[in-house]
């Protein structure tokens, strides 16, 4: 990372955005836990940071979210910090490529993010937790295993399926949000011009 990139990343505005994103992620995760949904709702803030400030800031927001959730609410979340890192980095790279300019691009970005995180999440879920983490998605792992799927394919299909729904919804929410934020709140975020249609 160059000195200029480091100074931009350590900018107070970016650090404040990361703090807000962590709160958004925690609230989303708590809503999910209360309703026992088969999705997660805990990466909206991470994707928002990635779209506004880039992949490094997005990755940091994701990792810090999982560590804070792991310390305060659910120790399982800390084990998935690498997954949160992937979400932030991939979302930032997609934003840089202009994939958040149109609604269909944002939806497709959610699918790409889900595919990327599946590669990292499946081994963690299988080797650390035996495929069961206490989330609402465990029902689908059990069902697929009972109808003849291997543990690996059951977990992979469940992780990808639940994350497609979650990440598409999250990406669409971020897409809509960045179009509604006033200029005074978005000034100074380098990556936003890649995501706003000209």
At 13-41, the pLDDT tens digits run: 999 999 999 999 999 988 887 887 767 88
pTM value is 0.91
Q: Band of the pLDDT at 184, cuts 50, 70, 90?
A: confident
Q: Output the pLDDT for position 171.
A: 98
* Secondary structure (3-state) at 83: helix
The two counts, helices (H) then strands (E), for the chain are 11, 0
Residue pLDDT, tens place only, 114-165: 999 999 999 999 999 988 887 667 777 888 888 988 999 999 999 999 899 9
* Helix, coil or strand: residue 11: coil
Domains of the chain (ranges; CATH) run 3-195 (1.10.1760.20)
pLDDT of res. 198: 47
Question: In this prediction, what percent of the chain has a pLDDT beyond 90?
Answer: 63
> CA-CA distance, 94 to 77, in Å (whole number)?
25
Least confident of 71-85, 122-136, 161-175: 122-136
Helix (H, G, I), strand (E, B) or coil at 70: helix
Residue 37's Cα: distance from chain center in Å?
A: 16
Q: Is 90 or 138 the better-scoring residue by pLDDT? A: 90
**What sign does the dihedral 4-7-12-14 (CA atoms) show?**
positive
Q: Are 97 and 159 in contact (CB under 8 A)?
A: no
Q: Is the pLDDT of residue 105 over 80?
A: yes
């Amino acid at each position: 990372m160059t000195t200029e990139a480091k100074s931009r990343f350590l900018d107070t505005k970016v650090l404040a955005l990361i703090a807000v994103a962590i709160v958004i992620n925690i609230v989303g995760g708590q809503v999910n836990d209360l309703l026992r949904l088969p999705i997660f709702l805990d990466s909206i803030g991470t994707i928002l940071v990635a779209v506004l400030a880039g992949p490094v800031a997005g990755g940091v927001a994701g990792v810090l979210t999982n560590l804070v959730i792991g310390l305060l609410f659910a120790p399982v979340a800390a084990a998935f910090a690498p997954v949160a890192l992937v979400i932030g980095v991939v979302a930032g790279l997609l934003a840089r490529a202009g994939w958040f300019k149109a609604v269909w691009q944002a939806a497709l970005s959610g699918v790409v993010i889900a595919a990327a995180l599946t590669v990292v999440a499946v081994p963690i879920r299988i080797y650390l937790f035996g495929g069961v983490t206490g989330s609402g998605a465990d029902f689908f792992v059990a069902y697929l295993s009972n109808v003849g799927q291997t543990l690996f394919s059951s977990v992979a299909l469940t992780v990808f399926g639940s994350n497609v729904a979650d990440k598409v919804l999250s990406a669409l929410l971020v897409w809509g949000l960045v179009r509604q934020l006033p200029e005074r709140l978005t000034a100074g975020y380098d990556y936003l011009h890649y995501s706003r249609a000209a």
